[in-house]
Amino acid sequence: MTIGVAILGGGIFAREEHKPAVEAAKDLTLKAVYSRSAKSAKTLEVDESKVDIYSDDSGAGKSLDDLLSRSDIGALIIALPIKNQPEYIRKALLAGKHVLSEKPVAENVQDAVELIKWYRSEIAPKGVTWGVAENVRYTNSFLHAAEAVKPKGRQLTFRCRMQTMVQGGKYFETSWRKVPTHQGGFLLDGGVHFTAALRLMLGKDNPLVSISAHSALLQEHLPPVDTVEAIAKSKKGAVGTISISFGTTAKGSEWTVAAENGFVSISRNKVTIDDKVDEIEDERTGVPPEVRAWGEALAAGKANEQQSPEEALADLELVEAMLRSGEQGGAPVKLQYQEL
Q: Is the pLDDT of residue 177 over 70?
A: no
Q: Is the pLDDT of residue 171 over 70?
A: no
Residue 172 has pLDDT above 60, yes or no: no
Residue 168 confidence class, pLDDT cut points 50, 70, 90: low
Based on the fold, state whether residues 25 and 149 are members of the same structural domain: no
Pairing relation of β-strands 262-267 and 270-273? antiparallel
- Return the exposure string of 96-120: e unless at least 16 CB atoms fall within 10 Å of the residue's CB, then b: ebbbbbbbbbbbbbeebbebbeebe
Tell me: do 150 and 267 sit in the same domain.
Answer: yes
Q: Is the pLDDT of residue 174 over 80?
A: no
Residue 280 in domain: no
191 and 62 belong to one structural domain: no
Looking at the structure of the chain, the number of domains it has is: 2
Query: For 309, which DSSP code?
Result: H
Separation between Cα atoms, residue 226 and residue 262, nearest integer Å = 33
Q: What is the CATH number of the domain that holds 83?
A: 3.40.50.720
- Please state, as a whole number, how many other Cβ atoms lie within 10 Å of the Cβ of residue 89: 26
pLDDT 10s digits, 239-260: 999 999 999 999 999 999 999 9
Note whether residue 257 is domain-resident: yes
- pLDDT confidence band for 167 (50 / 70 / 90): confident
Tell me phi and psi for residue 103, to 5 degrees: -65, 160
Region 312-326 average pLDDT: 98
Per-residue pLDDT tens over the stretch 202-242:
999 999 999 999 999 999 888 899 999 999 999 999 999 99
186 and 320 share one domain:
yes
pLDDT of residue 125: 98
Are residues 150 and 33 both part of a single domain?
no
For residue 208, what are the domain limits? 136-274+315-334
Q: Who contacts 38 (Cβ-Cβ below 8 Å, separation ≥6)?
A: 53, 55, 57, 58
Predicted pLDDT at 52: 97
Greatest alpha-carbon span in the chain: 65
pLDDT attached to residue 181: 63
pLDDT of residue 296: 99
**Are both 11 and 99 inside the same structural domain?**
yes
Percentage above 90 pLDDT, the chain: 91
Bridge pairing between strands 239-245 and 227-234: antiparallel
pLDDT higher than threshold 80 for residue 178: no
**One domain for residues 149 and 213:** yes
**What mean pLDDT, rounded, does the chain reach?**
95
∠217-194-331 over CA atoms, to 5°? 55
Q: What letter represents residue 32's amino acid?
A: A
**186 in the same domain as 321:** yes
pLDDT digits (tens, 9 = 90+) for 283-318: 999 999 999 999 999 999 999 999 999 999 999 999
Co-location of 152 and 77 in the same domain: no
Q: What's the confidence (pLDDT) of residue 184?
A: 81
| Pair (131, 151) in one structural domain | no
Per-residue model confidence (pLDDT) at position 223: 86
Torsion of CA 109, 112, 113, 114, to 10 degrees: 130
**Whether 143 and 269 share a structural domain:** yes
Residue 186 lies in a domain: yes
> Do 192 and 60 have their domain in common?
no
